[in-house]
Amino acid sequence: MRTPLAAAGLVALGVLLMANPLFLPVPVGEPDPAYTHTVQPVTDGSVAGFESPATGAGNETDGGNDSNASDAVVAYADLAPDAREAFDRARDAPEGGFGVEDPAERVDSLPYPTEPTLGDGLLIVEYDGERYEFWTRTVEREPGAVVAQRTLLQPVAFLAGFLAVVAGAAVGLRGRLGGD
104 with 157, same domain: the answer is no
| pLDDT tens per residue across span 77-113 | 999 999 999 999 999 988 878 888 888 888 888 898 9
Separation of alpha carbons 55 and 69, rounded Å: 8
92 with 170, same domain: the answer is no
Rounded-to-10 torsion of CA 40, 42, 48, 51:
160
A 10 A CB-CB count for 124 gives 20
Supply the range of the domain harboring residue 48.
Answer: 32-141
88 with 16, same domain: the answer is no
Q: Is there a contact between 4 and 172 (Cβ–Cβ < 8 Å)?
A: yes
Higher pLDDT, 178 or 66: 178
Q: Give the residue from 142, 147, 139 showing the smallest Cα distance to 101.
A: 139
Count of domains forming the chain:
2
58 with 137, same domain: the answer is yes
* Range among 23-27, 29-33, 109-113 with highest mean pLDDT value: 109-113
How high is the pLDDT of residue 87? Answer: 92
Q: Give the residue from 84, 165, 65 showing the smallest Cα distance to 125.
A: 84
How high is the pLDDT of residue 166? Answer: 92
DSSP assigned state of 78: G
68 with 128, same domain: the answer is yes
56 with 109, same domain: the answer is yes
37 with 14, same domain: the answer is no
Separation of alpha carbons 114 and 171, rounded Å: 53
Separation of alpha carbons 84 and 19, rounded Å: 51
117 with 158, same domain: the answer is no
What's the average model confidence in pLDDT over 141-150? 71
How high is the pLDDT of residue 60? Answer: 37
A 10 A CB-CB count for 27 gives 10
